[in-house]
Structure 1
Amino acid sequence: MRKLFYILCGLLIWMDGRSQTSDDAYREPLKQVLTEIEGQYGIKIRYSDAMVNDHFVTYARWRFRPDVEKTLTNVLATQDLSFSKTGDKSYKISAFQYHLKTVEEGKAQLEYLSSLYNDVASWEKRKTELRACMYQALQLSPVPPAPVSKPITTPVRKMDGYTVENIAFEVLPGVYTCASLYKPAKIKGKIPVVLCPDGHWEKHRYRADCQYRCATLARMGCMAISYDIFAWGESLLQFKSEDHRRSLAMTVQTLNAFRILDYMLKLKEVDTSRVAISGGSGGGSHTMLVTALDDRIKLTVPVVMVSSFHSGGCPCESGMPVHLCGNGTNNVEIAAMAAPRPQLVVSDGGDWTAHVPEVEFPFLKKMYGYYGKPDQVENVHLPNEKHDYGINKRTALYEFIGKHFHLDLTAVKDKTTGQFDESKVTIEPETSLYVFGDHGEKLPANAIHGYDELKKQFEGKGK
């Protein structure tokens, strides 16, 4: 009976399809077309009704090809939908993934970009044009004036070989970004600064691995500062969590880095010739972008994010049209804008950075070679690891910063094994890292609330 039912359904669909002509543009409901594809190719397609209801496909049957994936592409592209393979004969439909290309498309784009320049002069011209466009795309041309308020700080907490204090910056009138500042317990002379943005991992800067990283950098002799991404952490006192997935998140996060640099580089203990930034995942996207835009950054370590085919799926990474600059760019070319400043690309085998050694890294070596400094860019690839900022990735960061900033690493290495020792780091509870109190009761009175209030500060810019 079931077989007969499917035969009858297929016959009805076929008859309905035959009734369409060019007068109707061979128009069929999308849901019906997907059922036809399932029947013709013997596959199963997962999707939500909301995604397909009231959607229609013109010239539907004319889009079919012998290859099922080519057929799906032809049909779904008309609806701003895409698909992914979930099994041998199963697929899942999702909204068009604008930030993604195929691996092959990423390679092809790098080859095209390579044809646009062949020496320092032609590359510097391209870089200047990209940078100007990126500022415009972010609505930061010009960068808005900084509020005159001083940062808000909490009492210093003394740890083993380092200190921690929490600090809040007013980046725009009534818009605050909170951070934790880690310093060596004893500071002699001028010391380096390391900006430590993080990605979308749970707990963000409150995470143990973030605290390990910042505290160890401080014990190495650096000032390290970790700061909230927009609408995460204490930023949620002013904005909703869903506001993080809106375009101005990318702009505010970039502005956060500029404001923090403005403050840090005025401290008498800071060596302005030794300024670094390193973040993972979404923080890696942020790392590449800030380095491309700000020459005050002298060393950069983007972690698990350099990819020719993935531009970051969150609007905080691609919500503004930065990647459309120069008739199209990608994260690898943006990373190349750091040249000839030292850069360490950390990649792994478990995400979109799996191809870095053979695809993205050679491109970066070529770009650094224009300056006669191919050794200034390095890649640590961890093929058996996944998408995180784990100990092996942190170890690569410590070694790279130690080498280029000429730091004595004996204080943070085990005397017996020679391995980095993070055991002296105190992992604090989340509330210890708050600036505005356990319940936000200390949030300044002028703090704005809501994304609409933020948008007002950018009205008319970037147009």
Structure 2
Amino acid sequence: YDYGMQLAKRGYVAICPDCRGFGERRDEALQKGTDEKSFLTSTCFHLAHMAEPLGETVAGMCTWDASRLIDYVYERGEWDTEDLGVMGFSGGGMQTLWVSALDDRVKKCIISGYLYGYRDALLLLNGNCSCNYVPHLWEHFDMGDIASLIAPRPLAVQSCRDDHLNGPRGLVNVTEQMDIVQKAYSLYGKEEYPLHDVREGDHCWHEEVLDIALPRL
């Protein structure tokens, strides 16, 4: 999905890095293919296979990368960092969730195709990408708890009704987490957030969330 281009057409500066394990940052042994499918096929399993025995996680490395990218934006000094936002779909939504929760330089964020309960979406559905897993995290926190750290900054979450990643209970697994986040925003008197944009379809991006969450420049 070309949501970087969609942002640019709305007047924003859009920086679209290759995530670890994708594109030119794939694991070396799997960098042979140059077709589009090869660039979009991740090597997260290979990263996690070595990272976790060393006390690292792919989610942690991606969050580190995103924060360093924000450093770069600040160092350039030519863009309005007072309105800096992060947006992503699926694995990009995972990165958006984590960096927005942990780096308050992010002023607004849009998470698409990624915010649901760990048990249903990542444990019962145990064939998900290795980038999702942080050992023992689900014993203490859920995604709603992590997303609550974004409060009171503007947050929009997009979910699709038939997204298989929602888990066997469907949207219920999403709305439970959104309720947790809503309570955090209520503590700040920001009941208008988080915005929850529910669309039809399976695991897919809908551009309409931009019309809801971002003004055209």
Over 3 Å counting, the alpha-carbon distance change for 1:322 and 1:216 in structure 2 is farther
Opposite residue 94 of structure 2, the aligned amino acid is: S
Give the Cα–Cα distance (whole angstroms) in 2 for the partners of residues 295 and 347 of structure 1: 24
Deviation at 1:398, TM superposition (A): 4.0
What RMSD in Å do the two structures reach over aligned CA positions?
2.2
Match among 3, 7, 10 for residue 220 of structure 1: 10
Give the match for residue 400 of structure 1. Answer: 213
Paired residues of 2:88 and 2:112 also in contact (CA < 8 A): yes
CA displacement at 1:234 relative to structure 2: 0.4
Unaligned 5+ segments in structure 2 are: 31-42, 52-56
1:295 aligns with 2:104: yes
Q: Per-residue CA shift, 1:47-70, capped at 9, x if unaligned?
A: xxxxxxxxxxxxxxxxxxxxxxxx
Q: Is 2:142 the partner of 1:323?
A: no
Instruction: Give the share of equivalent positions with the same residue, in percent.
Output: 26
Structure number with greater Rg is: 1
Show CA shifts across 1:361-412 (max 9, x none): 2322221001111103110111x311011xxx2221243121xxxx43xxxx
Residue number in structure 2 paired with 1:362: 179
Higher helix share: 2
Q: Deviations over 1:84-130 (max 9, x none)?
A: xxxxxxxxxxxxxxxxxxxxxxxxxxxxxxxxxxxxxxxxxxxxxxx
Looking at structure 1, the residues matched to 27 and 181 of structure 2 have their Cα atoms a distance apart, in angstroms, of 40
CA contact (8 A) 1:232 1:244 kept: no
User: What is the rounded CA distance, in whole Å, between the counterparts of 1:355 and 1:265 in structure 2?
Assistant: 39
1:229-264: per-residue Cα shift (whole Å, max 9, x none)?
222210126464342443443232112101111001
Contact 1:279 1:286 in 2 (8 A): yes
Query: CA offsets, 1:335-355, max 9 Å, x none?
Result: 111000000010111120622
Q: Is the 8 A contact 2:112 2:158 kept in 1?
A: yes
Residues 346, 307 of structure 1: CA spacing in aligned structure 2 closer, same or farther, 3 A cutoff?
Answer: same
SS of the aligned residue for 1:265 comes to helix
Q: Does 1:306 find its partner at 2:115?
A: yes
Contact map agreement 1:345 1:378 (CA 8 A) in 2: yes
3-state secondary structure, aligned to 2:92: helix
More contact order relative to length (CA 8 Å, sep ≥ 6): 2
**What is the 5 A alignment of 1:29-48?**
none
Counterparts of 1:355 and 1:214, CA distance in 2: 30
- 267 and 372 in structure 1: CA distance in 2 versus 1, 3 angstrom threshold: same
SS at match of 2:81: strand
Quick check: which one's strand share is greater? 1
Confirm or deny that 1:282 pairs with 2:91.
Answer: yes
The residue correspondences of 1:432-451 to structure 2 (distance < 5 A) are none
Does structure 2 conserve the Cα–Cα contact (< 8 Å) formed by 1:311 and 1:330?
Answer: no
Q: Which amino acid aligns with 2:131?
A: C
How does the TM-score come out when normalised to structure 1? 0.38
Is the 8 Å Cα contact of residues 7 and 13 (structure 2) preserved in structure 1? Answer: yes
TM-score by length of 2: 0.77
Q: Judging changes above 3 Å, is the alpha-carbon distance between structure 1 residues 302 and 243 closer, same or farther for their aligned structure 2 residues?
A: same
Q: Structure 1 pair 315/369, CA: closer, same or farther in 2 (3 Å)?
A: same
